[in-house]
């Protein structure tokens, strides 16, 4: 196993992590921005008002994109396991 192989595995792991994290975090960011604009316009400073919509958006994203996310992480893991013989010998 060469250092290049280790770097390739690490790079692919970071790519998968970034994609899967971005799918969840970007809609939560958008919901937080909309709630923050609503709070600024109405001058309501309730902490739960910003937390509950983001929680609901993240839950909805997991329901909608969960199967796809699971397929992505499973394909990465299966490819990693299948490459073990090549990495060892």
| pLDDT string in tens for the chain (89-residue length) | 788 989 999 999 999 999 999 999 999 999 999 999 998 899 888 878 888 999 999 999 999 999 999 999 999 999 999 999 988 87
* pLDDT of amino acid 2: 86
Query: In 44-77, which positions are buried (b, 16+ CB within 10 angstroms) versus exposed (e)?
Result: eeeeeebeebbeebeeebeeeeeeebeeeeeebe
Q: Are 35 and 47 in contact (CB under 8 A)?
A: no
Give the global pTM.
0.81
* Residue 12 CA neighbour count, 13 Å, CB half: 12
E runs forming strands in 1-89: none
């Amino acid at each position: 196993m060469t250092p290049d192989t280790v770097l390739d595995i690490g790079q692919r792991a970071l790519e998968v992590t970034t994609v899967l994290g971005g799918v969840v975090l970007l809609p939560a960011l958008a919901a937080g921005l909309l709630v923050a604009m609503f709070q600024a316009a109405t001058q309501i400073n309730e902490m739960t008002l910003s937390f509950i919509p983001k929680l609901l958006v993240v839950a909805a994203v997991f329901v909608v994109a969960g199967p796809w996310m699971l397929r992505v992480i499973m394909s990465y893991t299966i490819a990693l396991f299948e490459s073990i013989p090549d990495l060892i010998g």
